[in-house]
A and B are shown apart, each in its own frame.
Chain A
Amino acid sequence: MKLRFLAVILMGCMTTLAGLAQASVVDTLQQEYKTAGAGPFSAAKGEKMWVEKHKDAESGKEFSCQTCHTDDLKKSGKHEKTGKVIDPLAPSVNKERLTDIKFVNKWFLRNCKQVLGRECTPQEKGDFLEYLKGQ
């Protein structure tokens, strides 16, 4: 009984912590983007960009974020080339998402280049985060 009680408390604490970490990472980044002149951020705009298709100049194939992350953010995706499994992106099912600034920055850089062929603007990144944090 005591153990179960302890487990519930611990899990509650961890969830809260993860939530806080996520909130702070998204806030910090969006604050950073605002300093760079962007904002306000819109989840609707983020979603629109998320599903938008882009033609790859070299292969002529069409890519969107959903190519790898699938159309359900709560599910696992797959790397388009290597087939490596990508954990769900929605913070509601994957507590680790949006909790590490370095990680978020790295993947913004890689994925924007992959799909758009260029780096994303602070405005775009802010919109993406606004959309993703609510998933």
Chain B
Amino acid sequence: MIDRNQKNDRSVLVWDLPVRLFHWLLVTAFAMAWLSYEDNRYLDVHTFAGYTFLGLLIFRLVWGVFGTHYARFREFSYGPGDAIAYIKGLFGDDMRRYVGHNPAGAWAIFALIAMGLVLTVSGLFVLGGEERHGPLAGIVGFRQSVPFRETHEFVAYTLLLLVFVHVCGVLVESFFHRENLVGSMFRGTKSVATATLGVRPHRLVGATIIAVVAAYVIATFGGYLTATKEKPYLPFQGPHLVMNDPWTEACSECHLAFHPSLLPLRSWQQILKQQADHFGDDLALDEKTVNELLAYAQKNSADLEQTEPAWRMNSNIPSSETPLRITDVSYWKRKHEEVDAEVWKRNEIKNRANCGACHFDAKQGTFEDADMRIPGENAFDGIEWLKAILGGKDK
């Protein structure tokens, strides 16, 4: 704590490099997560942001104990009275200046870290429960993941509110003390009294953070650079669902061999029962084949909820109904309602049964969130641009 009337004539390092990197990488990850949460296609971006966020928080916890002076939690552990006194002081004459975090700011930092941990951990539960990915895959059930999803969403908004409060606080303090706090978080330095000592920059730790994040970026998104139209990059690998040669052969004669996990058993039974009039066609399957197909459907139908789409489809179909088309199920309709009529007419798609036009893993039946792309939409223009630059350098 410094008397504000003291002359500030020296610039010293207050925020070491790791603290600054932590701060701005956390901001980036938070923004990335918000921008990517809505469209399923960017689940890989969203989980990347989440893991980065969690990693940064863990680092910050360690740095809060072993880091430089102003980074240590002990240095900015203030009681609630201090925070209230500080805020009151802002409106009165007793305006104090702190070199590190001020008491109100310190409370915001602790709240941000705590909320951030709840956010990322609940995110891991959703990822494990709904998507069957991450460390909790297979441990959390589909239905069990629902409260975690609600927590995840609620905390995301709470954190956004906290960020708003934090930014407002920074602006208020910058204005009252006539100093550029945002600039300080970039440069790390503050103008302080002569007696105040600066901290070590810890460039090596900073370089390590940059290297780890860069390696993680390459590991996650590097696949997009080598992907081609014929061999697209699949950021998520779904479970290996059981395939069956007679099924694949019989079904793929006229269309994609839709995996049995996309409809309940009663639907497949009905479809095979009326095989002589299969949407206008006579399948003419012999009895032996029909029995083989039924046996396979029984062990892999949506009722068994082996995958997220299986669970969604199955829980969305009332038990009194027996849909014969996947596209008749309301879950399917809801998931595709944003796809414009014009998109369906595109040459690469043409038909609602042509799942593989957009879903790279349609044949495997896994329908992973991020493993899709609408043909003709320049979702990866940035990647094309990067490829062109990298390719140009080679020549």
Contacts and interface: CB of A to CB of B under 8 A. Distances in A.
A113 B254 contact: no
Interface residues on A, range: 10 to 19
Interface string A70-91: 0000000001011110000000
A110 B353 contact: no
B350 interface: yes
A106 interface: yes
A35 B281 CA distance: 28
A106 B253 CA distance: 11
Contacts of B353: 82-83
Nearest to A103: B253
A109 interface: yes
B354 A82 contact: yes
A114 interface: yes
A82 B279 CA distance: 11
Contacts of B354: 82-83
Contacts of B254: 79, 81-82, 84
B280 A82 contact: no
Interface residues of B, number: 14
Contacts of B237: none
B285 to A, nearest CB: 9
Contact of B255 (A84, A113, A114): A84
Contact of B282 (A79, A82, A84, A109): A109
B136 interface: no
A12 B146 CA distance: 63
A107 B353 CA distance: 21
Contacts of A82: 254-255, 351, 353-354
Contacts of B283: 110
A58 B255 CA distance: 22
Interface-centre pick from A79, A83, A113, A114 (highest chain B CB count, 10 A): A83
A56 B254 CA distance: 19
A113 B282 contact: yes
A58 B281 CA distance: 13
A83 B351 CA distance: 7
Interface string A94-130: 0000000000001001100110000000000000000
Given A84-B252, A84-B254, 9 more contacts: A79-B255, A82-B254, A82-B351, A82-B354, A83-B351, A110-B281, A113-B281, A113-B282, A114-B281
Interface of B: 252, 254-256, 279-284, 350-351, 353-354
